[in-house]
Structure 1
Amino acid sequence: MRENLPALERWYAAGVPFGLATVVAVSRSAPRGPGAAMAVGPDDEVVGSVSGGCVEGAVFELAQDVVASGEARLETFGYSDEDAFAVGLTCGGEITLLVRPVTPESDPTFGAVAEAVAAGEPITVATVVDGPAPRGATLAVWPGATGDTLGTLGTTGLDVAVTADARGELALGATGLRHYGPHGERREDAVTVFLHSFAPPPRMLVFGAIDYAASVARIGAFLGYRVTVCDARPVFATPKRFPEGVEVVVDWPHRYLRGTETDERTVICVLTHDPKFDVPLLEEALRRPAAYIGAMGSRRTHDERYKRLTEAGITDAELSRLRSPVGLDLGARTPEEVAVSVAAEIVALRWGGSGAPLTVTAGAIHPAGPA
């Protein structure tokens, strides 16, 4: 929903009904995961996508129907072997969509949710998908034991149970279906609720304000990271050398990182390949949470850096987290090609990909992987 917000906020503020389709479950090789959304507004304007084009035509009609009827619907799309031209997913997967009408009257929480998501605030939206509760009812949950909530799923007990789970899922950045009894009991046969966590964008920290850093920063922003470039040299660390929206910091890399919060989604790219910068920086990086820690340099640079880090007391377990030399073997030469190589390694590590050409692999193209 994040990328569709400008249109959705405009329609909502104007009080114009629109249909919002959200992927709530997938199986096998589905092209988009839970949380992917598509909306149909006035004058047949469409924003977003739920399948990359396979079923969007049918979803367009569904969205129009739910706006006309005022009632949410749950629909599943798969692949039909009997009729190749049937509406379905050509990739062989299956997606389940909740399609619901949105207006200030039907969903009084939407405005506050949109405002929080646009501001990068963490929030989870719980929506009834199926069972003995109002389908499409929403409950917005902010983090913290005393955080706010807005809306209701129908009963106090259900709201309390879902609120507790929503805060736990938000801490993990997780999204998915949960099952409850009508009053919040832990049961598999009653109310199905979709918990959609909107965690702030993950951070990418790029150290070394060189040409490669500009390309890595650009592709990092494209992938949805909040990018910061840091270098101790003010002549290189200037905003005009980097894409718009990228934060540029002049500071010693290890000192900046020491004062910066990271988490299990943070990506750290060390492009300085200068021992006086990268050794103290990597000492700090390898001892803190991060999803990816990569360092640029030749094989010789890597061996020398590895030796210095070992002498500094970095353990084998800590060193095993270091991706060095950085990136996948694509034969990259230019800064832009190297950025693709680095991004490919980050994506492969996130989802458990092999990095091998798909033509030499077998099985599902989009297997289940880490969140």
Structure 2
Amino acid sequence: MFEIADRLLAAVAAGSRLAVATAVSIDGSAPRTVGTSMAFDGASVIGSIAGGCVEGAVVETCELVLSDGIPRTVEYGVSDESAYSVGLTCGGQLRIHVQILDDDLISALAAQRDLDVCAGFTERAPVERHLIVFGAMEFSAALSSAAQVLGYRVTVCDPRSLFTTPARFPGAEIVVSWPTVWFETAEVDERTVICVLSHDARFDAELIALALDSPAAFVGAMGSRRTHDRRVASLRERGVSEEAIARLRSPIGLDLGASTVEETAVAILAEVIASRFAASALPLSTTAGAIHPVPVRDAAALAVRAD
């Protein structure tokens, strides 16, 4: 539900009464993941629970729940011939719980607390992820906007006040400071992503060395391959270990053929996501197995299932 929390809360504030359907179990192949939700107010739908599959049938269940207030759990799966009649042809098995969005759920959504969706299933509150961008430029502006769409809290740091403005970086925290000085007191943890998009020789290597010495989950830097070689040589001169240098994603971004600032932002975030889930970043058409496996390190953040 957290994925559509803002829209759910806005609908409730506008006076809507909602039935919300949540995928509490997915076995095999399915378009979405456990915890995905869709809501219905009797006239319109919020969200998408299965990429289009089974949603018509789920709306019918939502109508019943809106009518009598009684929660229901419905299942669609590979052994259920009716699954094909409602559009589930991907071979997975879905278990969907439908309930009224009551005061307890609304309160938990608003406070970003864990949600007790039904017996045996708890949806964990989302973990805040922080993107720190060094360098105020058009690439940074595009990256800031795209990252916020993905739910990242964004901080942009640059010593030049002329370029580092709220108007240029709407929604981001603005820091006008010398990057290495500010970084010494910055809050960085294992959920932090650091992208050094400027390559100012006055602080580039020192800043990256500090970032690599931090617990940040991802450290990337923009620049040509020649810039990268100079950067690595400078890191070695500073005594940065080969193990730490191996953490550096430089040149930053996946090879998507990006040329515009917006495309480059997509390429950078694609690498960030792939790194977070230890994914191959290969075309799905060339891979086998489940499309949406749950990484061990993120499993607890998605759901807790009772035996």
State the 1:21 CA deviation. 0.9
Match of 1:347, SS state, is: helix
Match of residue 115 from structure 2: 125
Distance in 2, Cα, partners of 1:221 & 1:273: 23
Following TM superposition, by how much is the alpha carbon of 1:248 offset from its aligned partner in structure 2, in angstroms? 2.0
Deviation for aligned residue 1:13: 5.5
| Counterpart position of 1:54 | 53
Structure 2 residue identity aligned to 1:275 = A
Shift of 1:358: 2.6
TM-fit CA distance, 1:76? 2.3
Q: Tell me, yes or no, if the aligned pair for 1:23 and 1:98 is still in contact at 8 Å.
A: yes
CA distance in 2, matches of 1:258, 1:94: 49
Distance (whole Å) between structure 2 residues aligned to residue 114 and residue 368 of structure 1? 23
Structure 1 residue runs without a partner (length 5+): 118-122, 130-191
Shift of 1:366: 2.6
RMSD: 2.4
User: Can you give the 5+ residue segments of structure 2 that lack an aligned partner in the other structure?
Assistant: 299-307
SS in 2 for 1:53: coil
Distance 1:83 1:99 in 2: 19
| In structure 1, C-alpha distance between the alignment counterparts of 2:12 and 2:256, rounded to whole Å | 46
Question: Could you tell me whether the CA contact under 8 Å between 1:294 and 1:324 is conserved in 2?
Answer: yes
- 2: distance between equivalents of 1:29 and 1:267? 30
Asked if the contact 1:80–1:86 (Cα under 8 Å) also holds between the matched residues in 2, the reply is no
Question: 1:88 offset after TM fit, Å?
Answer: 4.5
Which residue, 258, 261, 274 being the options, matches 1:348? 274
Give the ranges of 4+ consecutive aligned residues of structure 1 lying more than 3 Å apart after TM superposition.
2-17, 79-85
Match of 1:240 in 2: 167
Q: Tell me the equivalent position of 2:304.
A: none
TM-score, normalised by the number of residues in structure 1:
0.73
Which of the pair has the greater relative contact order for Cα pairs under 8 Å at 6+ separation?
Answer: 2
Matched, 1:109 2:108: no
Q: For residue 116 of structure 1, what is the amino acid of its counterpart?
A: A
Closer, same or farther in 2 for the Cα pair 1:14/1:218, shift >3 Å?
closer
SS in 2 for 1:293: strand
Q: What aligned pairs does 1:152-191 form with structure 2 within 5 A after superposition? A: none
* Correspondence for 2:23: 23
CA, structure 1 residues 240+14, in 2 after alignment: closer, same or farther (shift >3 Å)? closer
Deviates more, 1:339-348 or 1:251-260: 251-260
Give me the whole-angstrom Cα distance separating, in 1, the residues matched to 2:130 and 2:49.
25
- Give aligned pairs, total: 297
Kept in 1, the 8 Å contact 2:76–2:82? The answer is: no
1:345-364 alpha-carbon deviations (Å, 9 max, x no partner):
11211223222223333333
3-state SS in 2 of match to 1:228 = strand
The match for 2:72 is 73
After TM superposition, the score normalised by the length of structure 2 is 0.87
State the one-letter code of the partner of 2:19. Answer: G
Aligned to 1:145: none
User: C-alpha displacement at 1:324, in angstroms?
Assistant: 0.8
Q: Take 2:70 and 2:55, find their aligned partners in 1: how far apart are those partners?
A: 20
% identical equivalent positions? 46
Match in the other structure for 1:298: 224
Amino acid at match of 2:118: V
Q: Judging changes above 3 Å, is the alpha-carbon distance between structure 1 residues 227 and 90 closer, same or farther for their aligned structure 2 residues?
A: farther
* Aligned equivalent of 2:244, options 288, 311, 318: 318
Asked whether 1:212 is paired with 2:136, we answer no
Q: String of CA shifts for 1:205-257, please: whole Å, max 9, x gaps.
A: 11111111111112111221111111111121122223x21222111122222
